[in-house]
Structure 1
Amino acid sequence: MKSILSKLNLLVIISVLLVGIVSMSLWSIREDQQIHDQQLATILQIQQGIDTLRSQLWIFLQYKDKASLEEVYIAQQSLTEQLGEQTNFKHCIENLEKMNYSLAVLLRQERALEDSTLQSFPHSVVTADMSESRSLLHSRYNMIAQSMGEELFHLQQEVHVSNRAQQEKALAMTALVLLFFTLLVSFTAILIFKQFKAGQDVIKEGIHNLYNGDLDTLISIPKLAEEYVVLVTFFNKMKVSLQNHIVTKDELEREVKLKTSTLMHQTDQLRYLSERDSLTGVLNRRAFYHQLDVEAQKALSSGTLFALLFIDLDKFKAINDNKGHNVGDEVLATFSSRLKDNMRPTDVIGRVGGDEFVVCINGLSDEANIESKLDYILDVLDKPMEIKDESIQVSCSIGVSYYPTQSDNVKEVLELADQAMYEAKKKSGSRYFSLFKKMQSQVTEAKSDCQ
């Protein structure tokens, strides 16, 4: 009985027995009540027969004729049949049967006396002896009828008393059984609760120690239920296994920091590779256009503007065709390196085509500050490149547009810079061109013509 499960099984068995015993007790009480109801119904039927007999006797005593006597005789025979049918109630109606038999004897004497009177005295002359005999018989009728009523009343009282005693006995036995099994169930439940509480406290303390990092203290096994002994044994084995395999807190923190740093570095590398052109190291087309949208938002919020430089290398295809793609790649890498070295850290550089670059020079207050910067950039980019022991001269054409001066749409500003680049290509050598300057010149000439 050290197992909680065995106690629970016992509790279930006790509960089933309790339900069965209570059900049997209630069934027994119900059967006793049915027997009592049947006895009362029998007594009621006999009462009706006796009442009928008494009423016929009263009529006969009033009229003293042969017809009334026959009715009394018929009522007595009917009562005899009723009493004879009560086989299950025989021992209780023996006195009634005796009284009914005595009444039948008297009625036969009455009939015999009536017959002899008619035969001896056809003219209805009644002697004093006959009158006295009849009076005696009539008195016996009344006594027997009254005695039958009293006997029936006592019988009814006896049935009530007997049924009440049986019900009290059944209720007392049921109450005792209920009390006994209730105490047994309560005792078993208390034992289960104590064992469950003791095991719960031990397991709770062990888990709390483990939560606080205590891997050394094992759970002791006092008088616990078998189920908790299994749990505690497994828990102790788990702590021993953790002692052999788990690292310390500092080691874990160092490992986490190292893994986190490595992951962040790898993430930065992946982000860099996804946003950068693999040959030149500047932003690729997708990343540059995304950054250009960011720069547009900054310009609108700060009230500044930025210039877009659309740069195309002149006759780059001839270099690829004549000197090979390796030399062409070296030219592009050197060109982009010069761009990066001569731009501010805040400026954005991107490669949007094979030999096409776009530079965003941000944070400008007006358009006038850009021309000196463009001249300087052209001087740097126009210098010869030493590639594989060979000097290569590469010129470039630059188209310039301004955001939001020319347009507050980034796509349109890019298109304007592209158009300006093609205008610059119409002239030989490294050049830059701005449609904005051309527009300003046209406005100035129009004003002069008007004057």
Structure 2
Amino acid sequence: MKIGQQLSVVVYACAALTMITLLITVELFYKQTQVQHRLDAIVSLHSQIDAVRGRLWLYQQYHSAETRQDAYHANQTLLQRLREQNRELPIQPLQAIRQAAQSIDTLLVLSARRQSDINTTESARLMVFSRYNMLLQTMSEAAFSMRQEAMHSAGQQQKALLLLHGGVLILLALLVTALATNTRRRFFQRLEELHDDVAKIKQGDLTTQLSLDTSDEMSDLAAHVNEMKRTLKNTMVRKEQLAEEIAQQTQQLREQQQQLMYLAEHDELTRLFNRRAFESHVEVALMRASRAQTKAALLFIDVNRFKEVNDTYGHGVGDELLKVVSQRLKLAVRRSDLVGRLGGDEFIVWLDLLADKQALKEVIERIIQEMRAPMVTNGAELELSLSIGVSCFPTDGLELQQLMNQADSAMYHAKANPSAGCCFYSNLNTREIE
């Protein structure tokens, strides 16, 4: 039986218990009222008997027609009351009282006939009144017996009703208590199992299935909980997959962003800094060198006869040449130095943290030595030569654009004198600068 059905049975049993209690109360009240009415009738009858006794006593004392008439009327009232109470009182005592009252009535009639007889002796009157007393005693004893019988009957009836109704009430109360206890036990047992399963869900356990061995509302709820766990498990798997996909896409976007940032700052062919990125990094290096009061140098480099290589061997060989130049430049300088491509066959180098001019010359000599190794491509062997213009910080200038212009001027002077290969801006006179 389901818990809801058990609760309905408990409710119906409680309603039945209440109804039966109400009916028992009404029946007891009705029976008590009947007993009270019977006792009231007996008391009233006993009072009427006492009234007849009193009238007869007056008649005995005064022995007049008037007192006899009063006794007669009191006895007639008693007979009338006996006829009215024939359904409420026990038959035998009531019949005994009725016969005694009729006998008194007969004696009163005879007494009325003999009252005119002057020869009636005192002993005869005493015998009549003795008969009255005997009849009154009979009626009193019958009335007392009637009262005792009524009280005994009422007591027995009350005891039977109490036993019957008490037994019924106790049985119903035990039934209600048993049903309520069983329902409470089942409810809290199922509730505890559901509570434990929900605690497992909070801990992340979505694999354990809740199983209840009965078919009730809690079993239906357990089925819904199991379905919810399966749904949550599938949802979490999908979320994990989605999170993994999002992480992969985020990583791809981050890599693409880094690649875009790299491409935005580097030359596509040589992978060196482009002009904008190079100038940005040199600006930072200039501020650092200015604060630390260190020396630096800017090199403007041009590849000699690059146009002839393009025209003779094609742009593919020219591109390979530019790649080789960029790689050899990076090998020749330190990791802290900056190398960039301005465009075409022009490169630019920033040499940072120089001790003196001799250290600068050593770096330039290393660059020239790196470039002396021939480049072989498509079966052709090409010799590399560079024209290098140099401007120094802070002796030649403090601003980047100023240093770049100075290095550019020095580079063109070196290009005009191929045998020199390198020219310092500080070595140029005014006419050569113009």
TM normalised by structure 1 equals 0.51
Alignment partner of 1:141 out of 127, 132, 136: 132
Corresponding residue for 1:52?
51
Corresponding residue for 2:111?
110
Alignment partner of 1:155 out of 146, 155, 162: 146
- Give per-residue Cα distances to partners, 1:362-390, cap 9 Å, x unaligned: xxxxxxxxxxxxxxxxxx9xxxxxxxxxx
Corresponding residue for 1:8?
7
Corresponding residue for 2:372?
none
- Give per-residue Cα distances to partners, 1:62-104, cap 9 Å, x unaligned: 1222222121111111111111122422544222111111111
1:72 aligns with 2:63: no
- Taking the aligned partners of 2:249 and 2:18, their CA distance within structure 1 comes to 66
- Taking the aligned partners of 2:217 and 2:138, their CA distance within structure 1 comes to 76
Corresponding residue for 1:236?
226
- Give per-residue Cα distances to partners, 1:8-49, cap 9 Å, x unaligned: 111111111111111111111101111111112212221221
Kept after mapping to 1: 8 A contact 2:42/2:143: yes
Corresponding residue for 2:319?
none
Kept after mapping to 1: 8 A contact 2:59/2:67: yes
- Taking the aligned partners of 1:84 and 1:66, their CA distance within structure 2 comes to 27
Name the SS of the counterpart of 1:89 in structure 2: coil
> For the structure 1 residues 188 and 167, does the alpha-carbon distance in structure 2 shift closer, same or farther, using more than 3 Å as the test?
same
Corresponding residue for 2:81?
82
- Taking the aligned partners of 1:55 and 1:218, their CA distance within structure 2 comes to 96
Corresponding residue for 1:101?
102
Corresponding residue for 1:304?
none
Corresponding residue for 1:194?
185
Corresponding residue for 2:41?
42
Q: What amino acid is aligned across from residue 185 of structure 2 in structure 1?
A: K
Q: What amino acid is aligned across from residue 78 of structure 1 in structure 2?
A: T
Corresponding residue for 2:236?
246
Q: What amino acid is aligned across from residue 108 of structure 1 in structure 2?
A: V
Residue 61 of structure 1: how far off its partner (Å): 1.0
Kept after mapping to 1: 8 A contact 2:90/2:146: no
Q: What amino acid is aligned across from residue 175 of structure 1 in structure 2?
A: G
Q: What amino acid is aligned across from residue 15 of structure 1 in structure 2?
A: C
> For the structure 1 residues 45 and 55, does the alpha-carbon distance in structure 2 shift closer, same or farther, using more than 3 Å as the test?
same
Unpaired segments ≥5 residues, structure 1: 118-123, 261-341, 343-379, 381-451
- Give per-residue Cα distances to partners, 1:258-289, cap 9 Å, x unaligned: 999xxxxxxxxxxxxxxxxxxxxxxxxxxxxx
Unpaired segments ≥5 residues, structure 2: 251-286, 288-398, 400-434
Residue 171 of structure 1: how far off its partner (Å): 1.5
- Taking the aligned partners of 2:78 and 2:105, their CA distance within structure 1 comes to 10
- Give per-residue Cα distances to partners, 1:89-136, cap 9 Å, x unaligned: 254422211111111111122122224x1xxxxxx3x25xx4443222
Kept after mapping to 1: 8 A contact 2:38/2:89: no
Summarize the alignment of residues 49-448 of structure 1 with structure 2, pairs less than 5 Å apart.
49-92=48-91, 93-115=94-116, 117=117, 124=118, 126=119, 130-221=121-212, 223-247=213-237
The number of residue pairs the alignment matches comes to 254
> For the structure 1 residues 76 and 214, does the alpha-carbon distance in structure 2 shift closer, same or farther, using more than 3 Å as the test?
same
Corresponding residue for 2:421?
none
- Give per-residue Cα distances to partners, 1:300-327, cap 9 Å, x unaligned: xxxxxxxxxxxxxxxxxxxxxxxxxxxx
Residue 203 of structure 1: how far off its partner (Å): 1.0
Kept after mapping to 2: 8 A contact 1:199/1:224: no
- Taking the aligned partners of 1:199 and 1:229, their CA distance within structure 2 comes to 8
- Taking the aligned partners of 1:258 and 1:136, their CA distance within structure 2 comes to 136
Identity %: 27
Q: What amino acid is aligned across from residue 231 of structure 2 in structure 1?
A: S
- Give per-residue Cα distances to partners, 1:378-418, cap 9 Å, x unaligned: xx9xxxxxxxxxxxxxxxxxxxxxxxxxxxxxxxxxxxxxx
Residue 196 of structure 1: how far off its partner (Å): 0.9
Corresponding residue for 1:399?
none
Kept after mapping to 1: 8 A contact 2:206/2:233: yes
Q: What amino acid is aligned across from residue 44 of structure 1 in structure 2?
A: V
> For the structure 1 residues 102 and 255, does the alpha-carbon distance in structure 2 shift closer, same or farther, using more than 3 Å as the test?
farther
Corresponding residue for 1:320?
none
> For the structure 1 residues 248 and 95, does the alpha-carbon distance in structure 2 shift closer, same or farther, using more than 3 Å as the test?
same
> For the structure 1 residues 140 and 257, does the alpha-carbon distance in structure 2 shift closer, same or farther, using more than 3 Å as the test?
farther
Q: What amino acid is aligned across from residue 104 of structure 1 in structure 2?
A: D
How large is the RMSD of aligned CA atoms in angstroms? 3.1
- Give per-residue Cα distances to partners, 1:210-247, cap 9 Å, x unaligned: 111112111123x2341111111111111112222214
Q: What amino acid is aligned across from residue 61 of structure 2 in structure 1?
A: Q
Q: What amino acid is aligned across from residue 224 of structure 1 in structure 2?
A: T
- Taking the aligned partners of 1:209 and 1:4, their CA distance within structure 2 comes to 25
Q: What amino acid is aligned across from residue 138 of structure 1 in structure 2?
A: F
Residue 163 of structure 1: how far off its partner (Å): 1.4
Kept after mapping to 2: 8 A contact 1:206/1:219: yes
Q: What amino acid is aligned across from residue 11 of structure 2 in structure 1?
A: V
Corresponding residue for 2:18?
19
- Taking the aligned partners of 2:100 and 2:154, their CA distance within structure 1 comes to 26
Q: What amino acid is aligned across from residue 109 of structure 1 in structure 2?
A: L
Name the SS of the counterpart of 1:246 in structure 2: helix
